[in-house]
Amino acid sequence: MIETMLTRSSVRVAIMAVLLGIACFLTYYCHAVLGTGVVFTHLFYIPIILGALWWKRKGLLVAVFLAAVLMLSHVFVRPDVAPYNDLYRSCMFLVVSAVTAMLSEQLAKKEQALRHARDYTRHLLESSPDFHIALDENGVIMGVNEAFEELTGKSRKDMIGASIYDYLPKDPAEKAVVEIFENEVVRDIELTIKTPGKEDSICNLTGTVFSTLEGGPGVYVTGRDISERKKAEADLRNYLQQLEQANLRLQEMDQLKSTFLASMSHELRTPLNSIIGFTGVILMGIAGDINEEQRKQLAMVKSSADHLLSLINDILDISKIEAGKVELSLEEFELVDVAGEVVGSLSPGAGEKGLEVLTEIPEGITLFSDRRRIKQVLMNLVSNAVKFTDQGYVRVAARVSEDDNLEVRVIDTGVGIKNEDMDRIFQPFQQVGPSLTKRCEGTGLGLHLTEKLAGLLKADILAKSEYGKGSEFTFIVPLRYEEQD
């Protein structure tokens, strides 16, 4: 690039020099020797104008330089004549060359801008992923871009001059063209374009009216291949439909599960209710006297039945929480009342084991939550503490934290939990006791359910323990249960 500019520039200098030489020679030599008039002086115009054209802004300098050459040559060649005439002409040259230089520069600029605009437009058109087609009023293709070539698989040479109806379905395309002429702009025309060797492409087109170079009306069409989008849309619709069906089936199954749970609960409980009821009645002696051994054995029956019932209740609770079937019944209540009920019902059992249940529950802590569930959690935590503690005490302490949470700590001096067992305590049927043979009475679901209940109440349960020394469970629950979170 630079090389060609250099050579082009030196060729120009050479031409200028030669022309200048000829002008000098003809002007002064011929004048002196042949006695011809000043007509040849005009020959200086040529290199001056050429110089101005070639070097544009620098043309003025070139003209000044040439005028100086002219004056000098004049002094050397014809010292006898005062150079006024030539001086006057030189000024003329200067003006002419200056104007020429300006005009040519403007012209060049315009040309450059035009070229730039043309290149830009072409670049835009050719790099566009959308295709562009220019048609005359009869539907003859006047121009296309690369995207259309790609779509049809034909070169523009083959397509220009051909009818667009070779590529578009004739009836709808003709209708579209008529519509475009009527409305000037028509968007979202959907047509199938025949693409030999490939599947037909569904295209989305926009047509506008424009006037051709010859002044006739033409149609400018831009468009894109939307086959893939169409296919994706169809796939999506299919998929959604399948999802909906699957969802329906799931709902049906969920319904079945709920019905099953409800009836199972009823069926399992009904006989259990009788067992618990009658053993209770007999143990109370209402049905007549029983001896000590009978009482002892019946008490075992009763305790097993109670255990079975709590197992069923826990399983049902867990299933319902997992199925999202639990509706909280929110109300305002005092912690002191709930904690009192819990401790009150567990204290006798603890007393039998020689344990003391200590409470540090400040008055005036009001909760807005599900009373029954909160009680269930506390009941589980405290009864666990009692269950796993053989001597010492169980302490229940409550306080309100700074971020408006209630924190209830249940601390015991029981067997504690080994570090390696810590992860398992919230899993179902994972009672971790001192040994298998000394397993404590329980469903093995207590903590699992407790954790699930806590989740339901937007609460947390933290556990820490030192093996052999005791455990501490902390129940952290918002003072006010907020529906939306």
- Contact set with another protein (CB under 8 A): 261-262, 265-266, 269-274, 276-278, 280-281, 284, 286-287, 309, 312-313, 316-317, 320, 326-327, 329
Angstrom distance (rounded) from CA 38 to CA 92: 15
Angstrom distance (rounded) from CA 393 to CA 415: 12
Q: What is the DSSP string of 97-159?
A: HHHHHHHHHHHHHHHHHHHHHHHHHHHHHHH-SSEEEEEETT-BEEEE-HHHHHHHT--HHHH
Other beta carbons within 10 angstroms of residue 82's beta carbon come to 10
Tokens 């009904």 belong to which residue?
A: 270
CB of residue 314 vs another protein: minimum separation in angstroms? 11
Q: Among residues 225 and 370, whose Cβ is nearest to another protein?
A: 370
CB of residue 313 vs another protein: minimum separation in angstroms? 6
Residue length, the chain? Answer: 485
Decide: 451 and 473 in contact? Cβ < 8 Å.
Answer: no
Q: Among residues 327 and 420, whose Cβ is nearest to another protein?
A: 327
Q: Among residues 43 and 276, whose Cβ is nearest to another protein?
A: 276
CB of residue 432 vs another protein: minimum separation in angstroms? 28
3-state secondary structure of 192: strand
CB of residue 284 vs another protein: minimum separation in angstroms? 6
- The closest alpha carbon to 203, from 178, 228, 240, 174, belongs to 228
Other beta carbons within 10 angstroms of residue 83's beta carbon come to 17
Decide: 434 and 418 in contact? Cβ < 8 Å.
Answer: no
CB of residue 204 vs another protein: minimum separation in angstroms? 55
Q: Among residues 278 and 393, whose Cβ is nearest to another protein?
A: 278
CB of residue 344 vs another protein: minimum separation in angstroms? 14
CB of residue 461 vs another protein: minimum separation in angstroms? 22
Strands (E), 182-303: 185-193, 201-211, 217-225
CB of residue 453 vs another protein: minimum separation in angstroms? 12
Angstrom distance (rounded) from CA 360 to CA 416: 22
> What residues pair up with 470 in beta bridges, in sequence order?
466
Q: Using a CB cutoff of 8 Å and minimum separation of 24, what contacts does 101-106 make? A: 101/52, 101/53, 101/55, 101/56, 101/57, 101/59, 101/60, 101/63, 104/52, 104/53, 104/56, 104/59, 105/56, 105/57
CB of residue 372 vs another protein: minimum separation in angstroms? 8
Q: Among residues 219 and 449, whose Cβ is nearest to another protein?
A: 449
Angstrom distance (rounded) from CA 319 to CA 324: 8
Cα 394-398-404 angle, rounded to 5 deg: 155
Residues 6+ apart with CB under 8 A from 177: 135, 139, 207, 219
